Structure 1
Amino acid sequence: MLLSRPLWLRDADRPVLFSVVFWTMLGATAIAHVSHRETGGMAVAFGVDLAVVTALWLVLPWRRDGGWRRHVAVVFLLATLTLGPAGSAEVHQLLTLIAIANIAFVHGMRAAFFIIGWTSAALFVSVVMWFGRGVTDAVAQTAVFVVFSAFVLGMTSAVLEARSARADAQRLLARVRELTVAQERARMGAEMHDSIGHHLTVIKMSLENAERFRTRSPEAAWDDVRQAKGLTVEALADARRWVRALRPLALEGRVGSAALERLAASFDGTGLAVSFEVVGGEVPLEPDVELVLYRVLQEGLTNAVRHAGARHVRGRLAFDGGHVQLVITDDGRGRDDGAAGGFGLRSLAERARAVGGTLTAGDRRGGGFEVRAELPVRAGVAS
């Protein structure tokens, strides 16, 4: 089975086009030799050389590394060159060009240019001295070889540049993800400090007052204890909300609208009535888009509980072709006239823009607050 082969026999770094050309030209070289009906030692030498070229192709590296396989590239080049004297009728030259391209992949472009120069000189001399042809024929054959070599190295350079760009993009994406996680943790840490930290501070002060007045003014001490008890309940509710906020996007195997409905249902018991509906034919969403929708609903519900004094929140997820819209409305007191947008909403607006969408938030006509996210189904496609 293919999956049981060693990695070097199914090298993902080997360009597919080179594989197609190699096997095609290998067959053409064998057919050309057979058509000349060589016999005896020459036929045996050619068959052995062809078998060596085939075996070396299977273990050729296609990326720079310090392993033993980097030396295989040189041996493979020499094996393709010897196909000519063994009787390939010059059909093997494309195999030599592939070998030179492999040198560029493994040893660098400078090494490949050196090989081309050396091979061009050897080809010129062999045409004149070995085959007894004129200088004009030698120049013509050498020029053809140089032109095809330049073409192959141009393709190789493009592949190497694409690999480098892909590696840079992957490193950048990993860095962006790290920064996003760090920013989210910083935001949530600040929010937890402001909410739970405040409650714990007041609880501490109330208990200290109760301890101080427990003998002189027992009734006042019990008032402080009752206040601390009430604040403990609020702090516990806050802690539970943050636990919900830290839950992963796939809730018990749910994704898409099912995950959002589950998130909305998880706010039952907070004193907030939450309804959620899905409009239109649901389509699969890219993970980045799905995560933004999840965080928008999370932020809208949390703000409604903590700041708006709302009694009911309504979420609406609508699919329309290549776009999806999430609207969260509440019947709370809205935002103060002088208040600026919170850090959470600003951060979510940036994340919406990052996937090609928009996020707006503001007071509703008739009271309440609304958060509206409009995103493409596929991240990066402008709305």
Structure 2
Amino acid sequence: MPRLPVPAARLPDTGPPLLLSVVFWVVLAATALVYAAALSVSPAPVGQVVAFGVNLAVVTGLWPVLPWRRTRGWRAAAAVVFLVATFTLGITGSNEIHQLLTLIAVANVAFVHGMRAAGVIVGCLCCGVFTSVMVLYGHDVLDAVGQTVPVAVFAAFVLGMTSAVLEARRRREEAQRLLARIRELTIAQERARMGAEMHDSLGHHLTVIKLALENAERFRTRRPESAWDEVRQAKDLTRQALLDARRWVRALRPLALDGHVGSAALQQLAASFDGTGLGVSFEVVGGELPLDPDVELVLYRVLQEGLANAVRHAGARHVRGSLAFHGDRVVLTVADDGRGRDGRDGRAGGGFGLRSLAERAGAVGGTLTAGDRPGGGFEVRAELPAWTRAAS
């Protein structure tokens, strides 16, 4: 089977974290209020006030459209413009409160353009702060260093936090890619198993039907009665093949049946065999616990396999399923009254289906056993934890 391409997992751009948005709007409002308060005490030239207002409007307008992952085009450029706009708030009259906005802009640049670009920009930012303190405000070197060092320290802290977030995002995307790959392999494995099982059941019926019809064609003139016997046999086999196909369709229904999960899904699966000639009973013992989704799936597949084997191989008339809860463990038993392993075709007892289920049970920390019952018939027993370690 050719391998299907696995699309690269890509998390959507959900915007900045909520807390970061709250900080932005609080600092932006504080910057505007402090500037207005300063104007009431010491009026500034109209041109400077207009420049500050335009600068503040640019920062406010860019915030909702900023990207928060690598991208290209005008949105990538918007991150750089936003950084410059927050920095120039200090030049147009802000009283250093805006520097938190600049640090937020540095984090945004790291998200969009990468850590290396953000590091270069932080270096340029520190040089800009040092230069502006000395040139624009006429302070000495010590004052410039004193104002530059806090900016550098906070910028390094912001870059460190941003790096951690980017690493977590990368690992999450990698995990999603692995999940997509596992899902693909699981589907391929199930298709191979179903193909083999359907070949054994439906393929056998169709082969015998073909031979019967060929015999009927050969006997139609010399032995008409024998020809009709072959046709009747083909009709009987056709009904059996159709019944087998319907059982397959019922057995391959998905885990969530009309919104049911847990024991309800297992009961629904058992009930789906009503009217097929196989009597199925199912009971729940003990107080039901919420189950890990992986454990639910293994239980569902165990019951599915037990019912399908009883139909295809055991010649059973009745199957009894029992789901028992013991502390933090859950036990599913599927027992039939058929021929058992020794009376089957040699592959049913230890075939691919049960081996695969044993591996699945082991993967979630449980065990699966299968074998003949002392009183006759065949039994499959799965004992699993209610929750896996990964889930807890």
TM-score band, normalised by the shorter chain? 0.7 to 0.9
Q: What is the match of residue 148 of structure 2?
A: 142
Q: Say yes or no: does 1:367 pair with 2:367.
A: no
Q: What is the match of residue 5 of structure 1?
A: none
Post-superposition offset of 1:253: 4.3
Off by >6 Å, runs of 4+ in structure 1: none
Post-superposition offset of 1:105: 1.1
Q: What is the match of residue 21 of structure 1?
A: 23
Counterparts of residues 193-232 of structure 1 (less than 5 Å) = 193-232=199-238
Post-superposition offset of 1:319: 3.4
Post-superposition offset of 1:30: 3.1
Counterparts of residues 315-354 of structure 1 (less than 5 Å) = 315-320=321-326, 322-336=328-342, 341-354=350-363
Q: What is the match of residue 288 of structure 2?
A: 282
**Rounded Cα–Cα distance in structure 2 between residues aligned with 1:149 and 1:274:** 67
Q: Deviations over 1:218-237 (max 9, x none)?
A: 44434433432332232122
Q: What is the match of residue 3 of structure 1?
A: none
Moved more, 232-241 or 368-377: 368-377
Letter in 2 for 1:188: M
Q: Deviations over 1:204-223 (max 9, x none)?
A: 11221222223333444344
Query: Which of 190, 193, 202 is equivalent to 1:184?
Result: 190
Q: What is the match of residue 120 of structure 1?
A: 126
Letter in 2 for 1:313: V
Post-superposition offset of 1:270: 3.3
Letter in 2 for 1:369: F
Query: Which of 19, 23, 43 is equivalent to 1:39?
Result: 43
Letter in 1 for 2:376: G
Q: What is the match of residue 300 of structure 1?
A: 306
Q: How many residues align?
A: 374
Give the conservation status (yes or no) of the 8 Å contact 1:356–1:381: no
**Rounded Cα–Cα distance in structure 2 between residues aligned with 1:165 and 1:46:** 42
Work out the percentage of aligned pairs sharing the same amino acid: 72
Give the conservation status (yes or no) of the 8 Å contact 1:356–1:382: no
Q: Deviations over 1:21-57 (max 9, x none)?
A: 3223223323433443342424444344223222221
Letter in 2 for 1:104: A
Give the conservation status (yes or no) of the 8 Å contact 1:357–1:382: no
Post-superposition offset of 1:320: 4.3
Moved more, 73-82 or 243-252: 243-252
**Rounded Cα–Cα distance in structure 2 between residues aligned with 1:315 and 1:381:** 28
**Rounded Cα–Cα distance in structure 2 between residues aligned with 1:276 and 1:381:** 30
**Rounded Cα–Cα distance in structure 1 between residues aligned with 2:256 and 2:131:** 69
**Rounded Cα–Cα distance in structure 2 between residues aligned with 1:30 and 1:323:** 61
Q: What is the match of residue 9 of structure 2?
A: none
For structure 2, the residue ranges without an aligned partner over 5 or more in a row are 1-11
Bigger relative contact order, structure 1 or 2 (CA pairs below 8 A, ≥6 apart) = 2
